Amino acid sequence: MPELPEAETTKKGLEIKVLNRTFVDVWSDWKKVIKKPADFGLFKKEIIGKKIRKVWRRAKNVIFDLSDGYSLLVHQKMTGHLLVGNWKIKKSENWEPIDDGYLKDPYNRFLHLVFFLSGDLMMALSDARKFAKAELWKTEELKKELEKFGPEPLDKNFKLNNFIKTFKNKKGKIKQVLMDQSVISGIGNIYSSEALWYAKIHPEKSVAKLSDQELKSLYNAIKKVLELGVRLGGESFSDYRKPDGSKGNFGAERKAYKREGQKCSRCGTKIKRIKIGQRSAFFCPHCQKP
């Protein structure tokens, strides 16, 4: 978390606000957030003066293509989210929004990286658990790095035949394979649980035992839940917020994720939670039989 819909929502929200703006300054009280270059001073020196030419997404990463052949990659990780607005810093080095509105949501107060942009605008990373990362790359080097990710499930080239071929060659439990970013990009704990619920597939089922019909159902379910997630602005059940600080609305559409003990909306059986590889999986034991 955030997953593809949240990263895509972030990308769309930022694109409107920050495109063609220039980095004027950078502040951080948690300099380990910068992973490349590891030295914050060098990162600051290199990014100041760069103009944002493009904002896009690859897998769960938000990417800013900059002038002079550089790109800034931000992975929001578990509790991070990028915000746009204006803040003032207090003596305690805590930031507070200048204006009333969504940015005053308590989940938006953990600012550890702040970019000052031209036109009197700021872009900030709020991250309660400090797992997020920012990296400054040469654009051509980053393109090669991103080749390690699997296909984008909302891309027009994401075809059923290729999906079936990819999964026919995989081993392991379907829940874990869906979350493997080298197999398919952008799917994490939330949307894998949701897609498997729609496809009526048990999260522990071996990929090798899935029929072509089950894979077709899963393919359609993946596209359905991700498109719905993007349309509703992502899932704000926990920390994630959109760039304006407001919540996404996917939470009301959840069928399985974080609904342990609640009735399945399809059959009425109580949703169960199990652990698969240290991660929770939510499913209906009646609809999603092993």
Task: Provide the annotated active-site residues.
Answer: 2-3, 60, 279
Structure tokens at 239: 């920390």
* DSSP-assigned states of every residue in 207-251: GGG--HHHHHHHHHHHHHHHHHHHHTT---SSS---TTSPPPSGG
Residue carrying the six token digits 């970019």: 115
C-alpha dihedral sign at 221, 247, 89, 48: positive
Structure tokens at 20: 């063609």
